[in-house]
Amino acid sequence: MSFAATGDSFITRRLPSRGAEGFREVAALLSQAEFRFTNLEVTAHRFEGFPFAFSGGTWAIAPPEVLTDLQAYGFNIMAWANNHTMDYGYGGLEATRRYLDQYGIAHAGVGLNLAEASQPTYLECPGGRVALIAATSTFHESWAAGEQRPDMAGRPGVNPLRYTTTYHLPEEALGHLQEIAGMIPINAEHNLNVKEGFAVDPQDGGVRFGSYLFRPGSEASCTTAPLEKDWQRIRRAISEARRQSDYVVVSIHSHEMSGEDKKKAAMFLETFSRRCIDEGADAVIGHGPHVLRGIEIYRNRPIFYSLGNFIFQNETVSRLPADFYEKYGLGHEHGVADALDTRKENNTKGLGVNPYVWESVIPLWKMEGGELTEIALHPVELGFGRPRYERGWPVLSGRTEILEHLQKLSQPYGTKIVIDGNVGRVRLS
Write the burial class of residue 332 (CB in 10 Å: 0-12 exposed, 13-18 middle, 19+ buried). Answer: exposed
pLDDT at 347: 73
> How many Å separate Cα 113 from the centre of its chain?
20
- Of the chain, the percentage scoring pLDDT greater than 70 comes to 98
User: Is residue 348 predicted with pLDDT exceeding 90?
Assistant: no
Q: What is the mean pLDDT of the chain?
A: 96
pLDDT at position 344 over 90: no
Each residue's pLDDT tens digit, 234-289: 999 999 999 999 999 999 999 999 989 999 999 999 999 999 999 999 999 999 99
Domain edges within the chain? 2-149+227-319+350-426, 171-216
Mean pLDDT of all residues in 206-228: 92
Of the candidates 198, 75, 57, the one whose C-alpha atom is nearest the C-alpha of residue 138 is 57
Cβ neighbours for 110, distance < 8 A, ≥ 6 positions apart:
80, 81, 85, 93, 96, 97, 117, 134, 145, 156, 157, 158, 159
45 pLDDT higher than 80: yes
Query: pLDDT tens for residues 94-133?
Result: 999 999 999 999 999 999 999 999 999 999 999 999 999 9
Answer whether residue 386 shows pLDDT above 80: yes
Query: Residue 189: what residue type?
Result: E
CATH number of 2-149+227-319+350-426, picked from 1.10.260, 1.25.40, 1.10.3300, 3.60.21: 3.60.21
Q: What is the pLDDT of residue 350?
A: 86
DSSP string across 31-96: TT-SEEEEEE-SEESSS-SPPPSS-SSS--EE-TTHHHHHHHHT--EEE--STTTTTTHHHHHHHH
At 18, is the pLDDT very low, low, confident or very high (cuts 50, 70, 90)?
low
Mean pLDDT of 161-176: 93
Q: Per-residue pLDDT for 202 more than 90?
A: no
> What's residue 287's pLDDT?
99
| Residue range 52-89, pLDDT digits in tens | 999 999 999 999 999 999 999 999 999 999 999 999 99
Its pTM stands at 0.94
